[in-house]
């Protein structure tokens, strides 16, 4: 089968999304009830489950409950969740809060978003994190396609295109640094460094940016999609499938500060390859990778998840986010072989949202997995 025909089996081409919960015997009513219950726990629940907090009449933020700050990661995640569930009020509240408090207008990071703020809006940091920008842009495009553009800052598609232009062209006039390397088209961990975070790589987003960004930027994003898929092949361990949190451009782990191992950031790689495979059938390697990750964790109790070398050697240190790890392993089932993959789907179905102080990151990954495995993490195409 040709490469083009393989890709055309993905949801982008067919408009069809697998519902793995239904494949394990859950009914439509059970699934829709579960999604709404989990949404309510995260967005309207009590202080042991909620991570979203409305502010006044038109603002809201996502709280990192473990660090008591508001991050571009969480804000962009919340926007993606909201647009997938057609909740324009929550989406607009989050975006307006982001623009009011996180957007930077001066200094070398002008045009980017401060990655960490206090709940009152004051900045904790004046640097950006590229995983926030890429999720903001994708959520904004989907919002434009679901609800149409409005007046600024709700001219969603313009905001997305401007953001992506800044991400790849900043620094051309000596005014800072781009978020993607102009040479190799790989996303950076932060703009003023020359290494990456494998979990930032979202080739399925870049394929869509290549359609909807400003026309002159579209070839860059097409190249970025291909570059990211190839990068993950050299970054993930060939036997375990595990990825480090940070890695150099040649794929080797960046362990300068202990981030060359499999830990919190790394969990997202499994989710990302699952969604890329679902949307675009991006690369058959993704099926092999999903199988390896699920096989590595098959005999491990979530209560005993740990930090691991990418070769699979465990540390004494326990995972900070075991529910998030379980959820991303389950989301990899979109690419994995059916028999083993469906065991993970069943495991996730039988796992509740995390409660308590560390719930934020776990439950973001958890909810994305619930959406994806139910066929509700969708590409929203333009209305026209």
Structure token digits, residue 64: 């990192």
Provide, for the chain, the percentages of residues in helix, strand and coil under a 3-state DSSP scheme, each rounded to the nearest 5.
Answer: 50, 10, 40
Which uninterrupted H or E stretch holds 227?
A: helix 218-235
The closest alpha carbon to 267, from 350, 333, 349, 361, belongs to 361
* Annotated active-site residue in 73, 245, 288, 362: 73
Tokens at 230, concatenated: 């190839």
Provide the token pair at 240.
């375990």
Active-site hit among 265, 278, 283, 286: 265
H-helix or E-strand containing 308? Answer: strand 306-308
Q: Taking the mean position of all CA atoms in its chain, how far away is CA 272?
A: 7
Tokens of 168: 């790849």
Cα 23 versus chain centre, distance: 24
Number of Cβ atoms within 10 Å of the Cβ of 338? 11
- Residue 46 · residue 54 · CB < 8 Å: no
Angle formed by the axes of helices 203-212 and 218-235, to 10°? Answer: 170
Distance (Å, whole) CA 163 – CA 117: 20
265 is catalytic: yes
Token pair recorded at residue 241: 């499938």
Name the CA radius of gyration of the chain, rounded: 19
Question: What's the gap between Cα 257 and its chain centre?
Answer: 23
Residues 6+ apart with CB under 8 A from 32: none
Of 269, 351, 262, 350, residue with least CA distance to 313: 262
Q: Name the β-bridge partners of 70.
A: 117
149 catalytic residue (yes or no):
no
Cite the active site residues.
73, 265
């Amino acid at each position: 089968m040709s490469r083009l025909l393989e890709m055309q089996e993905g949801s982008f081409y067919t408009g069809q999304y697998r519902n793995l919960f239904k494949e394990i015997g859950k009914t439509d009513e059970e699934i829709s009830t579960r999604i709404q219950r989990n949404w309510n726990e995260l967005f309207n629940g009590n202080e042991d489950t909620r991570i979203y907090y409305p502010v006044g009449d038109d603002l809201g933020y996502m709280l990192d409950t473990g660090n008591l700050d508001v991050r571009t990661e969480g804000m962009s995640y919340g926007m993606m969740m909201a647009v997938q569930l057609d909740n324009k009020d929550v989406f607009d509240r989050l975006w307006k809060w982001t623009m009011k408090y996180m957007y930077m207008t001066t200094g070398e990071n002008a045009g980017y978003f401060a990655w960490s703020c206090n709940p009152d809006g004051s900045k904790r940091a004046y640097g950006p994190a590229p995983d926030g920008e890429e999720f903001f842009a994708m959520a904004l495009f989907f919002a434009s396609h679901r609800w149409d553009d409005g007046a600024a800052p709700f001219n969603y598609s313009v905001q997305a295109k401007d953001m992506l232009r800044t991400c790849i062209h900043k620094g051309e006039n000596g005014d800072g640094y781009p978020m993607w390397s102009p040479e190799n088209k790989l996303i950076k961990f932060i703009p003023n460094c020359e290494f990456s975070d494998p979990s930032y790589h979202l080739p399925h987003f870049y394929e869509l940016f290549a359609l909807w960004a400003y026309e002159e930027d579209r070839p860059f994003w097409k190249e970025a999609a291909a570059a990211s898929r190839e990068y993950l092949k050299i970054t993930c361990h060939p036997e375990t499938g595990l990825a480090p949190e940070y890695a150099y451009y040649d794929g080797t782990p960046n362990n300068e500060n202990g981030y060359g191992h499999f830990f919190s950031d790394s969990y997202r790689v499994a989710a990302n390859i699952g969604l890329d495979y679902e949307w675009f059938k991006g690369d058959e390697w993704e099926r092999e990778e999903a199988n390896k990750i699920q096989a590595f964790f098959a005999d491990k109790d979530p209560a005993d998840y740990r930090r691991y070398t990418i070769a699979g050697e465990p540390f004494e240190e326990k995972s900070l986010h075991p529910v998030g790890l379980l959820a991303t392993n389950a989301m990899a089932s979109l690419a994995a072989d059916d028999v083993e993959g469906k065991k993970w789907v069943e495991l996730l179905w039988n796992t509740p949202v995390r409660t308590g102080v560390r719930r934020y990151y776990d439950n973001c990954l958890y909810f994305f997995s619930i959406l994806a495995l139910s066929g509700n993490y969708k590409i929203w195409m333009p209305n026209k």
